[in-house]
Structure 1
């Protein structure tokens, strides 16, 4: 039975991409495809089988985690913890939250355009506030604190530089939604250390430089790339599959294929 037909048979109608995949995996548990203690296939295999991105699979796994159906053992894989005894319904699906990578995609679209417009409106006072936010980021990193107040302030000051209160409210809403998101918190529970934040600080410096030059295109591109870097880094840092699994990215070695093609 294909994925679409499975969706049509489910009493719970998924609203988000990860819920569709989560419900397919959930149904596989009910059907006995996997038993308690079994390890699920690697994310890449699930993504290929269901023809979706790995970020959607990652979010689906988080959904099952929140339902206490699977356990993630970082560097080993995803293991079945419990098997649901009934079909999916709105009452027993815990997570109705937006997925963390879906949130990042929305932020990427919103904030890159905010940065572009801010570059045309920014004042010397705005630049000073952004610099203070970067200094706070550096201080938080030096102290090893988990606080990210400098990061949040930096993005907020860019929105405020647009002189548009609606854009500021939209940015605040996206950050508030993230902070209250069980999906976001579960993703970060698989991430250790704070060294990755140094890369994001460098990204912020590039964004600030573009804003100082009042270069809208560079500001937009720098913000877009920053949030793309955040997304890719979070995928890497929260990777849960067995590191010995061969072929995360390719079904075969592309270097070998290229070598054979040139002969």
Structure 2
């Protein structure tokens, strides 16, 4: 049978709720920091269960678009709800653990070598990357470009052409993991602090400290809401 005649996927109800919330935010002129209507009210107005509303809110939370304050409601973190398709989130959830494993294996070694081999020019580039990230965060951005430049500077400072080739091979996947991490609440400033500790160890020529600092940083990168999200789970808590 032709693959074109495979069974059609039935859209999840909560995906439709997400789309309605996106339309509501746009039509209502809501802005970052504004509160969404309570879940019970949304369920009544949309004619769906609270479980569907809860799962829709979780999808928005996973993407860093809303902040759920337990007992205090759901608040926008962005000016609009530019939502990724759920299938793309599911695909990234599946590949992210392997990417994080590869990053820890490669980047801890790169940090060790950078502490041993860095030049003054390498240190200047690391400092410039940190300055970029500080400026981005101060401007209300995630610090994505500064983060990318910092890790690239460490790769260069390791002076290992083969490891640099490996990093280039998985660059798109690393970029995904970076974006996923930096959109976690309060993560950009924490990431910057961890970068500064890595840089200090490299500047001091302390390879062991550089490895430890990089490993701690990458363990933080791995703590993202996406990995604990189950796209098929009923988010309604069981009754006592």
- Normalising by the smaller structure, the TM-score range is 0.5 to 0.7
User: What's the TM-score, normalizing by structure 2?
Assistant: 0.55
- CA distance in 1 between partners of 2:192 and 2:218 (Å): 12
- Picking from 218, 225, 228, the partner of 1:227 is 218
Mark the CA change 1:127 to 1:96 in structure 2 (over 3 Å): closer, same or farther: closer
Is residue 2:127 matched to residue 1:131?
Answer: yes
TM-score normalised by the chain length of structure 1? 0.50
**Would you say 1:196 and 2:192 are equivalent positions?**
no
Matches within 5 A, 1:235-254: 235=225, 239=229, 245=237
The secondary structure found in structure 2 opposite 1:214 is coil
Question: What SS class does the counterpart of residue 126 from structure 1 fall into?
Answer: helix
Gaps of 5+ in 1: 1-29, 39-70, 78-93, 247-263
- Retained in 2: the 8 A contact 1:120–1:214? yes
Offset at residue 178 of structure 1 (A): 3.8
The answer to which structure has the higher helix fraction is 2
Give runs of aligned pairs for residues 23-102 of structure 1, distance below 5 A.
72-75=55-58, 95=91, 99-102=95-98
Distance 1:132 1:138, change over 3 A: same
| 1:244 CA displacement | 7.6
Structural RMSD (CA) = 3.9
Q: Within the alignment, does 1:214 sit opposite 2:205 as a pair?
A: yes
Q: What secondary structure, in the 3-state scheme, does the structure 1 residue paired with 2:215 have? A: helix
Tell whether 2:102 aligns with 1:106.
yes
Shift in Å, 1:213: 0.9
For residue 124 of structure 1, report the CA deviation from its aligned partner.
1.6
Return the alpha-carbon distance in structure 2 between the equivalents of residues 197 and 96 of structure 1. 21
Q: Does 2:152 correspond to 1:148? A: no
* Structure 1 residues 138 and 72: alpha-carbon distance in aligned structure 2, compared to 1, 3 A threshold: same
How far is 1:106 from its partner? 0.9
Distance 1:120 1:36, change over 3 A: closer
Please report how far the alpha carbon of residue 95 of structure 1 lies from its aligned counterpart in structure 2 after TM superposition: 5.0
Q: CA deviation at 1:172?
A: 2.4
Question: Cα gap change, 1:178/1:97 in structure 2, threshold over 3 Å: closer, same or farther?
Answer: farther
Partner of residue 167, structure 1: 163
1:197-254 Cα shifts (integer Å, max 9, x gaps): 110101100100110110111101110110001111x1379757888848xxxxxxxx
Distance 1:235 1:96 in 2: 12
Q: What SS does structure 1 have at the residue aligned with 2:205?
A: coil
Inter-CA distance 118–36: structure 2 relative to 1 (3 Å threshold)? closer
- Equivalent in the alignment of 1:158: 154
CA shift at 1:98, angstroms?
Answer: 6.2
